[in-house]
Amino acid sequence: MTLVAILSGAGISTDSGIPDYRGPQGLWRRDPQAEKLVTYDYYMADPDIRRRAWLMRRESTTWRAEPNAAHRAVAELDRQSGFAVRVITQNVDGLHQLGGMPGRKVLELHGTARTVVCTGCHARSSMEEALARVEAGEEDPPCLACGGILKSATVMFGQRLDPQVLAEAMGIAKASEVFIAVGTSLQVQPAASLAGIAAEHGARLIVVNAEPTPYDELADEIIRDPIGTALPTLLKRLNSSPSGD
């Protein structure tokens, strides 16, 4: 069975109303101070940063976002095709799973915004529960188990990716016969290197992104059209071709 790996970045979720971070209208360009709210050292050292981070989480567009046509097309390919589909995502929004992709087939390289983790005892609980505490007046809710500092279960700036998740992603990239990089600038390492690893191991590399990426020269196909229509069209074409051409 042909293994199709899909590496998704922020661009796949913009149609769902979630802004990207580094684009022309991206969060870091509009508010450079916002980057401190998701930088581990600042977050751990400064209670005011944490209070602002909790307000940012509470107001996040993620909680209102719905999966779009691109997310649903990926899940449809998994359900209907003779392909083995695996998603490796740089996103923390959980929309691939909400769009119908089984959680066990989604690798979240940068973690998930839908869970909180204690930096002390590593206990996990739901973001919904933590935000309810913020809503009730706790500006910087501590861990209920040990009193430690809580953060979203995302990889902040200054934190390493989970080595087990990264190793699994590399294994998928090496084994894939088709590797689709969609909505990602392919500039953030080590996630971006997965495209190169896949190409080096013989995968057909397809890049679906509005802007040029550092890996375009390795790509067998480059698609610049809007992702919401381009990805479903590409995946339908893939599904109708047993060889994945």
Q: SS3 of 100, please?
A: coil
Whether 110 sits among the annotated catalytic residues: the reply is yes
Peptide bond into 226 cis (omega under 30): no
CA–CA dist 34, 36 (Å, integer): 5
CA distance 65 to 67: 7
Distance CA 73, CA 76 (A): 5
User: Distance between terminal CA atoms of the chain?
Assistant: 14
Give the helix ranges, DSSP H, for the chain: 27-30, 40-45, 47-58, 69-80, 95-98, 127-135, 163-175, 193-200, 227-240
Q: Both tokens of residue 159?
A: 């934190």
The closest of 168, 210, 170 to 193, measured between CA atoms, is: 170
Residue 17 CB-half CA count within 13 A = 8
User: Is the Cβ–Cβ distance between 181 and 187 less than 8 Å?
Assistant: no
SS3 content of the chain, % helix, strand, coil (to 5): 45, 20, 40
Q: Pick the catalytic residue from 71, 96, 110, 201.
A: 110
Active site residue ranges: 110
